Homo-oligomer: A and B are copies of this chain.
Amino acid sequence: MGATKRFIYNQSINEVANIAKVFAHPARVAILKYISEQEGCINNDLVDEIGLSQATISQHLSVIGDAGLLKGRFEGKKKCYCLNVERFEEFQTLLNSFFIKTKTNCC
């Protein structure tokens, strides 16, 4: 009880859900938006910008990163995050094709 039964769904369904999960928290949406607006390095500007603790931002960043959406680079002690555009576009395409496939029939 309690845990999502991922094993009962096929791979493409789980894939859509997993992608959506990344965007299902406003902090992560805000982080992605902010990253896209910056040129070059962003560090924990995000902490000031968004208003969550450094630990929480870092946690959200790792969710985004685990999904493959970040390219990170250290420049001295500052971490420079930027969007992995290829992966991001892959997500866009996958979600979009889910939408297209789904909206065919109606009663």
* Chain A interface residues (CB < 8 Å from chain B): 4-6, 8-9, 13-14, 16-17, 20-30, 32-33, 36-41, 50-52, 71, 73, 80, 82-83, 85, 88-89, 91-92, 95-96, 98-99, 101-107
Contacts and interface: CB of A to CB of B under 8 A. Distances in A.
* A interface: dominant SS: helix
B37 A105 contact: yes
Q: In the A-B complex, list the 4 residue pairs whose CB atoms are closest, starting with the nearest.
A: A20-B23, A82-B107, A24-B24, A9-B26
Contacts of A13: 26, 29-30, 33
- Copies assembled: 2
Contacts of A29: 9, 13, 16-17, 20, 98
